[in-house]
Structure 1
Amino acid sequence: MSMVELEKVLIVEGSSDRKKVQGLLNEPVEIICTNGTIGIAKLDELIESLFNKDVYILVDADESGEKLRKQFKREFPEASHLYIDRMYKEVATAPEKHLATVLLGGNIDVHAQFLEKG
């Protein structure tokens, strides 16, 4: 049995989301920005490039984020979905400790200093 580790890819909506998440990561993860909505042709191209990778979707807890999430669920059901608490609405404005806990829950390694102590 081969122990080939899958490359991890995190899909977020915007560059501010990418910047926020990047500082929390303690392992190499490719972060892709959709810049909001994504067309079917672009989505198909993206999905093809993600074959054989661990893909995680982390979008805002708002109407546009949910629309994007539904599109990924329909077109790329293999992806894992990570959810921020609705009270934070946006990935970019969610507290680092909360985001770190969400990422860790998705099996993405984060720097220990960002985890909740308790």
Structure 2
Amino acid sequence: MRQLPQPARESLTLASVLHALGDPVRLELMLRARDEPDSTCSVLADGLNVPMSTLSNHWRILREAGLVSMAVDGRHRRVRPRVDDLEDRFPGLLDPILRLGAAEQRPAMQ
């Protein structure tokens, strides 16, 4: 599998991470990626009422912010959250955001 470009751990910025997680769709995608690592973009986006072109943009923003890494697997993209890199760069940041995001978003989506 070929990895898509992503920022190095040391170049991750708090502003780009928070911006990426500030969108409800991207937050939900990140929650799903954390719960199902190495799934494909289409599996993780299943059930979201968002056009495919918009989803592609959301995945790009998450990847460029350093929240996920993506690998090309044939016609699919496999997504893996960069939890270790984020924890190393911003200790203790990601878990509370995802926990609060899940509590806030998931009841509204059911």
Shared topology, TM-score over 0.5? no
TM-score between both structures, scaled by the size of structure 1:
0.28
Structure with the larger helix share: 2
Instruction: Name the structure, 1 or 2, with higher relative contact order (CA <8 Å, separation 6+).
Output: 2
TM-score between both structures, scaled by the size of structure 2:
0.29
